[in-house]
Homo-oligomer: A and B are copies of this chain.
Amino acid sequence: MRGNALWVLAHPDQSSLSSHLRNVGIAALREKGWRVVESDLYRMRWDPLLVTDDGSADVRAEQRKLADADLVILQFPLWWYGVPAILKGWFDRVFESGFAYDVPDPETGRFLKYGRGGLIGKRALVVVTAGDRHASLGPRGISGHIDDVLWPILHGTLWYTGMQPLRPHLITEADDVDQQTVGSVERSLIDRLDHVAEEEPISYLPMEDEFYDHSIRLHDHISPGVEGNAAHQHCAV
């Protein structure tokens, strides 16, 4: 038994490549001994709109799934270099204050974030399909490196709430996957999921005095001279 996994999918079309890969991925996790529950946001008719007063039953239900999960898979097509609105609205509503952040740290009693938070320790894997060619989302690709494109999710949402984000599982040229090529896309996903419990997460720096000053900016001697998102990883130190 590998623990509990929550698979969140944001795609409107049940006959899409995304929906197919969701089926393949969930089957692969179960094969490996994970207990998997699912949030298929379009099929659930998830309401993405945060209003001033919430606290709805649908939010509580998603929070229970998250609380139980050791592993969270977030699967979506890259729309305008971000998540579809329905998934953004899942973050906006489910990741509430007092649940995902602004939670007293068990050790210190302080309200910590970035590496600590209400979702501490849960692994998170983003599975993303993009129409772009692979090099376009690489380190010098026109669309930006996928790690930078997904920075608001990987660092600003998952790491912010204490989760352990893994390197994103990126499927490029997704509009051109056909009967001939789908097998290799499936195998690559299954291989990735086979080792998802052992993989090293992205080594983002935690919000600790050792790394950040009181304005929550990197000390000069941490990643010296480096600007941009890469400065906030251990490997840049």
Q: Which residues does A use to contact B, with CB under 8 Å?
A: 12-13, 42, 48-52, 79-86, 88-89, 91-92, 95, 114, 132-136, 138-145, 148-149, 151-153, 155-157, 160, 207, 212, 215-218, 223, 226-232
Contact = CB atoms under 8 A, between A and B. Distances in A.
B50 A12 contact: yes
Contact of A50 (B79, B218, B227, B231): B79
Contacts of A223: 140
A84 B91 CA distance: 10
A81 B151 contact: yes
Contacts of A114: 142
A58 to B, nearest CB: 14
Nearest to A222: B140
Contacts of A227: 139-140, 145, 230
Nearest to A82: B152
Contact of A81 (B48, B134, B142, B152): B152
Nearest to A150: B152
A51 B79 CA distance: 13
A215 B223 CA distance: 31
A82 B86 contact: no
Given A88-B85, A156-B149, A12 B52 contact: yes
Closest 8 CB pairs of A and B: A81-B156, A85-B89, A135-B215, A81-B152, A48-B85, A228-B228, A85-B88, A140-B218
